Chains A and B, each alone.
Chain A
Amino acid sequence: MNRSPRRTLARRWEGAKKGWYKFSRNPLSVIGAAAVLLILFLLAFAPYVAPYPEHAGSFVNFREARQPPSWKHPFGTDTVGRDVLSRIFFAFRFSMAMGVVVLSLTVPVGVTLGLLAGYKKGTWIDTVIMRTTDIFVSVPPLVLALAVCSVLTPSVFNAMMAVSLMWWPWYCRLVYGIASSLRNEFFVQSAQVTGAGSPHVLFKEILPNCYAPILTKMSLDMAWVILIGSALSFVGLGAQPPTPDLGTMVADGGRYMPDQWWMTVFPAFAIMFVVLGFNLLGDGIRDMLAVEEV
């Protein structure tokens, strides 16, 4: 077998080109990818692209307070005179951080437990792990996250921990299904008879077959985690002022409806934009990797 690094690289490049071709067949996927890239760009360069970067913190300018949308402030200003558009750019940072932190904490845990339970199907390990996930999914994730946040001190960090605690069972269940159906396949058995230990079988034989659904679910989940995060902030149990957060902005602006509608409507649209971007991207990835359903 010739596995020179140059040839694998060339093969990968071919694979990526094919993948992009499939992905770009659907204009909606490309729009989703573009939206996500735009959001990433805005949050990365927020201090440079935001018209008033200093408005991200506890800036106060009452002379400019409650201004309706204008050329100077395209999305208007809030009750203490901060530019809503600038704050939305900075709020993307916290939303994205929420998604990235939660998924990078929960995916490894959920996937490992799911692999283990699926591979050891029928044993006590399977029973303990899967029955525990049953309990976690018996209440909407938002409700349990709210409860965990409420007993802790409200902060972005605690909100992340609370959502992470609720999110792993979904990955566990996803991988469990695949692992339990693959455990009797020949390639797994051949690894077993050549003396491979459980860690090798789990992570080198079974796990590579789970990459596609995991990746698809992650890109779709980004949207949901960001939503749950903004919901926590909306209630006052997530990000605390003066941190700019989309959920907090919607909630604070809601008190000044209908006269100062821009304070709440634009952050609400921003949430929809983020969710739409990640949903379209996720759908595109699903079609590209030919994943049935996650």
Chain B
Amino acid sequence: MRFLVFLARRLLHSVFVLLGLSILVFLIARVMPGDPARMALGPRAPDWAVEKFRESLHLDKPLYTQYYYWIRGALHGDFGKSIFTRRDVTTDIKEFFPATLELMLLCGAIMSSLGIFLGVASARYANRWPDNVVRVISYMGVVTPAFVFAILFLLLFGYVLDILPTAGRLSPSITRPPTITGLITLDSLIAGNFAAFFDAVKHLLMPAFALALGPMAQEARITRSSMTENLQRDFIALERSQAIPERKIMSKYLMKLSLIPTVSVLALDFAAQLGWAFLVELIFNWPGISRYGINVMLRKDLNAIVAVIMVIGLMFLIVNIIVDILVAWLDPRIRLGAERSK
């Protein structure tokens, strides 16, 4: 019951943050020097057309009225038209979003599973060779930005070894399975088209690893330090004195407790990767919402910029809520409301 209250508060807070974000982004888009109507129509459009266009966008009204019209549209799923693609922004986002989702899901899976695995391994063999290997890997991972990983992978696996495709989601020779979820890997499995599935996975590997390696290193470091710290606790000594096997101590008593900081940092890192995805998608020509975002930003396509940021913000909030639920499951102090009484 307390957990439901906690969740409700969390959701309410998210709605508030999203609303605040919309005001912030709206202001950023409107303080721009220059006339959006003129930019949309180009320098050679006649003045009367620009004037009419401006009225149709409510740009002649005061800011708060403009915001009212915009948020009313946004709540109905209407973010206006994109100058870049000349289509509804909502249509664009529906088309590009699944590619980013597919990429981020794999990235999240890689960074959490590998990160935790490496962290546990180095805590288990603390100060022996596996620990040192993991330490070097973590330092490399932490200091290398995702776009540098992307470039180096592209060079190594894409060109020198020539074993992975360098751009896009599918090879041109493969027919795309019918769109059901928009995630090509899932769609091709549903259609039973394994050639398309393996091709899609091959395309996913480089961008997903480029995004995942940095946070993976971070997770490994945090998992290691929280596990070695908790190993010093009294209850572990007690369990050891009762001759409970080391493996069981590790998996049953130590693991859950030690993963709390890892999972909390996971959310922050995953969110940061949503930002780096902008560069990685550009490098691999990945037709996702981030590459779309860069394209519309370079063209000052305001409606689309605002919508992309709102979608990223929404994704970020959802990840945060999921992580909060996970942490609450791992940590009874939060689940049972001890946090609130502090």
Given known A-B contacts A150-B300, A258-B160, A250 and B151 have beta carbons under 8 A apart:
yes
Judge whether B244 is part of the interface by a CB distance below 8 angstroms: no
Tally A residues with Cβ within 8 Å of B.
41
Q: Given the interface contacts A231-B147, A236-B298, A261-B155, does A143 sit within 8 Å of B312 by beta carbon?
A: yes
Residues in chain B near residue A227, CB distance under 8 A: 145
* Residues of A137-180 whose CB lies within 8 A of B: 138-144, 146-153
Contact between B275 and A143, CB atoms less than 8 A apart: yes
Does A275 count as interface, using CB distance less than 8 angstroms? yes
Which B residues from 192 to 218 make CB contacts under 8 A with A?
none
A140 touches B155 (CB 8 A): no
Q: Is the CB of B297 within 8 A of A150?
A: yes
* Residues in B whose Cβ lies below 8 Å from that of A149: 297
Enumerate chain B residues within 8 angstroms of A254, measured Cβ to Cβ: 151, 154, 283
Contact indicator A257/B275 (Cβ below 8 Å): no
CB of B323 closer than 8 Å to a CB of A:
no
With a CB–CB cut-off of 8 A, which chain B residues contact A268? Answer: 148, 151-152
Contact A135 B20 (CB under 8 A): yes
**With known contacts A235-B294, A261-B155, A147–B305 Cβ distance under 8 A:** yes
Residues in A whose Cβ lies below 8 Å from that of B274: 140, 143
Within residues 248 to 293 of chain A, which ones have a CB less than 8 A from any CB in chain B?
Answer: 250, 254, 257-258, 261, 264-265, 268, 271-272, 275-276, 279
- Residue contact B32 to A231, C-beta cutoff 8 Å: no
Q: Are B148 and A271 in contact (CB under 8 A)?
A: yes
Shortest distance between the CB of B229 and any CB in chain A (Å): 12
Choose from A131, A148, A235, A271 the contact partner of B279 (Cβ within 8 Å): A235
User: Which one of B23-31, B47-55, B67-75 contacts A?
Assistant: B23-31
A234 to B276, CA, bound (A): 12
Rounded to whole Å, the gap between the CB of B244 and the closest CB of chain A is: 31
A150-B305 CB under 8 A given contacts A142-B278, A236-B298, A261-B155:
yes
Q: Does B317 contact A (CB under 8 A)?
A: yes
List CB contacts (< 8 Å) of B257-289 with chain A: 271-276, 278-279, 282-283
Which residues of A from 108 to 157 have beta carbons under 8 Å from B? 131-132, 134-136, 138-144, 146-153
Contact of A237 with B by CB under 8 A: yes
Residues of chain A within 8 A of B272, CB atoms compared: 140-142
Provide the residues of chain A in CB contact with B139, threshold 8 Å: 276, 279
Contact A131 B312 (CB under 8 A): no
Contact yes or no, B17 A138, CB < 8 A: yes
Pairwise interchain contact B25-A140, C-beta atoms closer than 8 A: no
B186 to chain A, nearest CB (A): 26
Q: For the complex, give the distance between the alpha carbons of A275 and B158 in Å.
A: 26
Contact B159 A152 (CB under 8 A): no
Q: Please, which residues of chain A bring their CB within 8 A of the CB of B273? A: 140
Residues of A within 8 A of B305 (CB): 147, 150-151
User: Residue-by-residue, is B293-316 near A (CB-CB < 8 Å gives 1, otherwise 0)?
Assistant: 110011010100100010011001
**A136, A138, A250 interface centre (most CB from chain B within 10 Å):** A138
Question: Is B85's beta carbon under 8 Å from chain A?
Answer: no
Q: Does B143 contact A (CB under 8 A)?
A: yes
Contact B276 A272 (CB under 8 A): no
Give B123-174 interface residues, CB cut-off 8 Å to A. 139, 142-145, 147-148, 151-152, 154-155, 158-160
Determine the chain B residues whose CB is within 8 A of the CB of A236 once the complex forms. Answer: 298
Least Cβ–Cβ distance between B290 and chain A, in angstroms: 9
With A136-B24, A272-B143, A275-B145 as contacts: A146 and B155 at CB distance below 8 Å: no
Known: A146-B297, A279-B143. A231 touches B31 (CB 8 A): no
Is B106 close to A, CB under 8 A?
Answer: no
Which residues of A have CB within 8 Å of B279?
231, 234-235
Contact B159 A234 (CB under 8 A): no
Is B21 interfacial (CB 8 A cutoff)? yes
User: Is B148 a contact partner of A139 (Cβ separation < 8 A)?
Assistant: no
A interface vs B, CB < 8 Å? 131-132, 134-136, 138-144, 146-153, 223, 227, 230-231, 234-237, 250, 254, 257-258, 261, 264-265, 268, 271-272, 275-276, 279
On B, residues with C-beta under 8 Å from A are 13, 16-18, 20-21, 24-25, 28-29, 31-33, 139, 142-145, 147-148, 151-152, 154-155, 158-160, 271-276, 278-279, 282-283, 293-294, 297-298, 300, 302, 305, 309, 312-313, 316-317
List 29 A-B pairs, Cβ < 8 Å: A131-B16, A131-B20, A135-B20, A138-B317, A139-B312, A139-B313, A139-B316, A142-B276, A144-B28, A146-B293, A147-B29, A147-B297, A151-B300, A151-B305, A153-B33, A230-B145, A231-B278, A231-B279, A234-B279, A235-B294, A237-B298, A250-B147, A254-B154, A258-B155, A264-B151, A265-B152, A268-B148, A268-B151, A271-B145
8 more contacts with CB within 8 A, not counting A140-B273, A237-B297, A271-B148, are A135-B21, A140-B271, A151-B305, A227-B145, A231-B279, A250-B148, A272-B144, A279-B142
